[in-house]
Structure 1
Amino acid sequence: MRVLFLLFAILPIIEIALLIHVGDIIGGWNTVALVILSAFIGAYFVKREGINTLQTAQAKMQRNELPGKELVDGLMLVVAGVLLVTPGFITDIFGFLFALPGTRHVLAAQVSKHMKMRVVTAGSAGGFHQQHNPFEQASNPFEQRTKPSQEEDVIEGEYSDKTQNDTDKRLK
């Protein structure tokens, strides 16, 4: 909760103060030009790295591998794009850190390590059990479940369409 407060309340105030301070030093129009230039350069990096990440993910999927690392990279590129188009120097610094491949891979490894928590769900007996970690690579991501578990209800049956028989009798 504190992080959200810092992001949405304190960070804009710091950004505005920094923009005013830089504007006093280099001039208002130069500051605006610098912010716009950083947005264009950042958009170029995000586009280039996004295309590379997408191609790598598609190649992994063709080899029946899960593109877990590429999904984290893609998420970080989306965040980088948002940060880079947001006016301000602090957001631009973080945006460039997320967009450049060297720092993004280091940050992605940290994010992946942090997100490798097991998902805990309630079991049918009132206890808890752990499910598969979505960030681990599976041997075959397209394999299907073989049997439903005992908790699932399976209802089998046959049916016939009675309306079709009634309309056939009326036509005769």
Structure 2
Amino acid sequence: MAVVFLLYVAAEVAAVWAVASVIGFLPTLGVLLAGAFLGSWLARREGGKAARAFAATARAGRPAHAEITDGMLVGLGGLFILVPGFVSDVVGLLLLLPPTRGLFRKAWLRRIERRAPSAFHQSHGRVIVVDSEVVDRRRGDDDPPSRPVIDSW
């Protein structure tokens, strides 16, 4: 992980150095600031769209996997935009723009679908989730709950 971070820092420094050598120091700072402002505006706009899409999907009673993933990717893209540097700005813009965000979303959901069965098998099937309620299968059906259930509604 440290090697990846060092490579990232080296790439950022090289990118800033290359741009500054072509257009100068002050214009480079201006481009970085303009990118931060434009990116934060885009993140706010796309975040609002993702939130509205999630609300509409939830109201319709459909699963909102894509909408939740879009919101996560927009947040991550906004974070990358706020980190100073050209490499992070490009990654942030790729996560914020809908066409490229769709590619990241599909890859992320495929990865989760591949890993989800292995996560279940690692638990040896002892704990399952039914209707958003955790059920411990180690306990017998006739055993009382380990703690009283208090319903405050």
- Smaller-chain TM-score bracket: 0.7 to 0.9
Measure, in 1, the Cα distance between the counterparts of 2:137 and 2:18: 66
- Runs of 5+ consecutive residues of structure 1 not aligned to the other structure: 135-140, 157-172
Deviation at 1:48, TM superposition (A): 0.8
**Residues 98 and 122 of structure 1: is their aligned pair in 2 closer, same or farther, counting only changes over 3 Å?**
closer
1:120 is paired with a residue of what secondary structure? helix
Q: Aligned residue for 1:129?
A: 125
1:57 is the counterpart of 2:54: yes
Q: Aligned residue for 1:168?
A: none
Residues 121, 131 of structure 1: 8 Å contact kept? no
Q: Aligned residue for 1:151?
A: 138
Deviation at 1:78, TM superposition (A): 1.3
Q: Return the letter of the residue paired with 1:5.
A: V
Residues 83, 89 of structure 2: 8 Å contact kept? yes
Deviation at 1:144, TM superposition (A): 6.2
Q: Aligned residue for 2:6?
A: 9
Q: Return the letter of the residue paired with 1:98.
A: L
Residues 120, 130 of structure 1: 8 Å contact kept? no
2:125 is paired with a residue of what secondary structure? strand
Q: Return the letter of the residue paired with 2:56.
A: A
Measure, in 2, the Cα distance between the counterparts of 1:93 and 1:71: 22
1:129 is paired with a residue of what secondary structure? coil
1:109 is paired with a residue of what secondary structure? helix
Deviation at 1:93, TM superposition (A): 0.9
Deviation at 1:54, TM superposition (A): 0.5
1:47 is the counterpart of 2:47: no
- Runs of 5+ consecutive residues of structure 2 not aligned to the other structure: 146-153
Q: Aligned residue for 1:137?
A: none
Which runs of at least 4 in structure 1 moved beyond 6 Å after TM superposition?
A: none
1:73-108 deviations in Å (ceiling 9; x for gaps):
111111101111111111111111100001101111
Measure, in 1, the Cα distance between the counterparts of 2:78 and 2:14: 23
Per the normalisation by structure 2, the TM-score is 0.78
Output aligned runs, 1:1-172, within 5 Å: 1=1, 5-6=3-4, 8-116=5-113, 117=115, 118=117, 119-120=119-120, 128-129=124-125, 143=131, 150-152=137-139, 154-155=143-144
Deviation at 1:130, TM superposition (A): 9.2
Deviation at 1:155, TM superposition (A): 2.2
Measure, in 2, the Cα distance between the counterparts of 1:122 and 1:95: 34
Higher helix proportion: 2
Deviation at 1:53, TM superposition (A): 0.7
**Residues 114 and 149 of structure 1: is their aligned pair in 2 closer, same or farther, counting only changes over 3 Å?**
closer
1:20-40 deviations in Å (ceiling 9; x for gaps):
221121111100000010111
Per the normalisation by structure 1, the TM-score is 0.70
